[in-house]
Structure 1
Amino acid sequence: MTKALLVAVLTLTAVSASREEVIDELLGSLSRGASFLEKEHLHINLDGVVGFLILQAELKEAVRTWPHTDPVSWAQRTSAVSLVKQLDQSLAKAVEALQQNDPKYYAEFEPLLTWRFWLIPQEWSTTDPSLVYSSTSTMECYDEQLSDKCMTLLLGTWKNKGTPCIVTKSCRDTMTRFGCPHYSLSHQLLYFMIGTMRGCSQMLKGDMRASRANMTERSYQKIFCSNMMKNNQETLQDGFTGQTQDIFIENILLCGLAGFSDFYKPDWLQHILSLQDQELGCFGRDGKIISQIIGDELLEQLQLHRRVKRREKTLRDGCSSHMTGVAVSALGGYLNYYLTEQDITKRPLT
């Protein structure tokens, strides 16, 4: 064996070993998250349950496509299969509890409450810095009630046996508005992702703006994720707070699920993993984050018609239901990405 070939073999071995270690780390973290769900399934809110359902879809896809290359890889797949079985049982109970605890909210978002709804990327692309907005609003573009209404019109849950894929002018104008920040931006992306997964093929029909004539649903997803990438990079530069930490991980979850591979950065993964409570398995158990969430909940009670950020729920021991769901599904996205990386036929598209 020549020296050059030996170096190449050693390099490949090191890369393979490190990837196996990362997958071990991911599976360990997800196992702790699944155990947390098992204990808290009666109390997790809808956002948290949806996060675990996305994870379930990601794990089922991982098990289906797992590269059977060696005994270590096979053992890891066996761990993933066990996780799937554990989640199957816990999620059935969690979804049933949601139906009993909040029947109206459950009915509005019932189509999302199955892992089968959530499609896993089959090919990858990357964001484009040239699509970043020249200026961004300092205020959110809309409230969550409008977002919920627009989502139910897409899902067909706006009334009993309602027609799905309805896009009103106010929904289209809001969801295609450029320059929105933070949660507005991630909700705009989620709107188009849910429309695509629901099979709504003409979401942009009726948009008469000449400047948007060639825009597709995918065009909007690329614009939103390019701006979410910039937001994440700025968050890293400015330092994390409770609120920015949550949206940072949410951006990774959503844009990764939309197929943008450049969100799966190794240092971002390590940051997410560092936020998990090793004993409880949840995320967001931090004094500053807890006080932020409690502050949001108090504000929500005072302003019943102006919900600031989702239906957050602080669980026992100060765990965040929303952040836990977002984090585990982001980690499930990393797992699938690292597995497709091992399959050269699924390398990211440039």
Structure 2
Amino acid sequence: MPTIGFQLAAVLALFVPTVRLSRAEVIDEILGSLSRGASFLERQHEQINLDGVVGFLMLQAELKEAVRTWPHTDTVSWAQRTSTVALIKQIDQSLAKAVPALQQNDPNYHREFEPLLSWRFWVTPQGWSSTDPSLVYSSTMVSECYDEQLSDKCLTLLLGTWKMNGTPCIVTKPCRDTMTRFGCPHYSLSHQLMYFMIGRMNSCTNMLKGDMRASRANMTEDSYEKIFCSNMMKSNLDIVRDGLPEHTVDIFIENILVCGLAGFSDFYKPEWLQHVLRLQDEEVGCFGRDQSIISQIIGDELLEQLQPHRRVKRREKILPDGCSSHMTAVAVGALGGYLKFHLAEQDITKRPLS
């Protein structure tokens, strides 16, 4: 479908009344989409970049936890669990090839972020909370307020990969000031959230030690996560209100992924799930495929051959079939979160807060 036609279809889909599906039907939709995504990874495991690998590892953590806690309800549910076990095996086999390929393609970057390259690193939420509209910033900066190199440096200090056998959980003043800055938009927000999430998953305590600002005296890591996700919720609501413009789709899905992984259940809206599912390319199984740039990719690949030492950009990589490595990563991770959410027992102790 031409790009204009796709955009029109996506906008019209926002206004089509959502048909309420049963939990089993929703899980079938999610598993079908993830199966196509797994087949895509199987074909592209040598090409996918760091973000792409990490997205599938997040998915693996979610799938393995889902299987472990799968409710023994009926034969349909148990058949879906069996399908999920097969899906995990397929993705495990592809990741076993993708991680060494990543190491070969970009050894320095692989070393810096190696702790993230295991599904065991990614801890899924054991309880749910909700965002708070009262925490939304009164004003937001127009441009991003982080630098990718600084962000990477701050993460390696947390992970202990800033040098060989480096001490982990180091928080410098520039990192703390950047990662606790209020009013940041878009990807800056998600990077700030990921900084605290990765610190928590890496067992870093007292990340805010040394912050002498009186206005932040009672702030905790959880406080920052709630502030960031409350603002990411506002961002997603604005994106949907504006008709899900093409240039906002990637951050829209990324917000669902990271805030869902942080335990904010209100990101798992049924209508948002349908938006994500519609963005998958039925032919190859990826997300964010753009036919118009495939010819441009050939030129980019020639440029890379002429500049072999050019640093591989982590944020994005367009694969040979026109797929977005980053969008595919965040989409499968978000879908894994949706699956785990729909499987959660809906008793008084685990019911998502409204």
Moved over 6 A (4+): 288-298, 306-309
Alignment of 1:198-277 (within 5 A): 198-277=202-281
Identify the residue that residue 10 of structure 1 maps to in structure 2. Answer: none
User: Cα RMSD between the aligned structures?
Assistant: 2.8
CA distance in 2, matches of 1:46, 1:132: 31
Identify the residue that residue 22 of structure 1 maps to in structure 2. Answer: 26
Aligned CA distance change for structure 1 residues 322 and 50 (closer, same or farther; 3 Å):
same
Structure 1 residue 308, shift from structure 2 partner:
12
Paired residue for 1:119, among 106, 123, 126? 123
CA distance in 2, matches of 1:293, 1:212: 47
Aligned CA distance change for structure 1 residues 37 and 130 (closer, same or farther; 3 Å):
same
Q: Which segments of 5 or more consecutive residues in structure 2 lack a partner in the other structure?
A: 1-18
Write the deviation string for residues 138-170 of structure 1: whole angstroms up to 9, x where unpaired. 011021011000000000000001000000000
Q: Is 1:183 the counterpart of 2:187 in the alignment?
A: yes
After TM superposition, the score normalised by the length of structure 1 is 0.89
Q: Is 1:109 the counterpart of 2:113 in the alignment?
A: yes
Q: Is contact 1:125–1:259 with CA below 8 Å preserved after alignment?
A: yes
Q: Is contact 2:297–2:320 with CA below 8 Å preserved after alignment?
A: no
Q: Is 1:130 the counterpart of 2:141 in the alignment?
A: no
Alignment of 1:274-285 (within 5 A): 274-285=278-289
Structure 1 residue 310, shift from structure 2 partner:
3.8
Helix, strand or coil: the match of 1:188?
helix
Structure 1 residue 240, shift from structure 2 partner:
2.8
Q: Which segments of 5 or more consecutive residues in structure 1 lack a partner in the other structure?
A: 1-14
Q: Is contact 2:294–2:320 with CA below 8 Å preserved after alignment?
A: no
Aligned CA distance change for structure 1 residues 223 and 341 (closer, same or farther; 3 Å):
same
Write the deviation string for residues 233-262 of structure 1: whole angstroms up to 9, x where unpaired. 111122333331000000000000000000
CA distance in 2, matches of 1:259, 1:294: 41
Residue type at the aligned position of 2:99: V
Helix, strand or coil: the match of 2:218?
coil
CA distance in 2, matches of 1:295, 1:229: 38
Helix, strand or coil: the match of 2:35?
helix
Structure 1 residue 289, shift from structure 2 partner:
8.4
Helix, strand or coil: the match of 1:63?
helix
Write the deviation string for residues 205-251 of structure 1: whole angstroms up to 9, x where unpaired. 00000000000000000000000000001111223333310000000
Identify the residue that residue 174 of structure 2 maps to in structure 1. Answer: 170
| Stretch moving more, 340-349 or 236-245 | 340-349
CA distance in 2, matches of 1:186, 1:289: 27
After TM superposition, the score normalised by the length of structure 2 is 0.88
- Report the count of equivalent residues: 334
Residue type at the aligned position of 2:221: E
**Larger helix proportion, structure 1 or 2?**
1
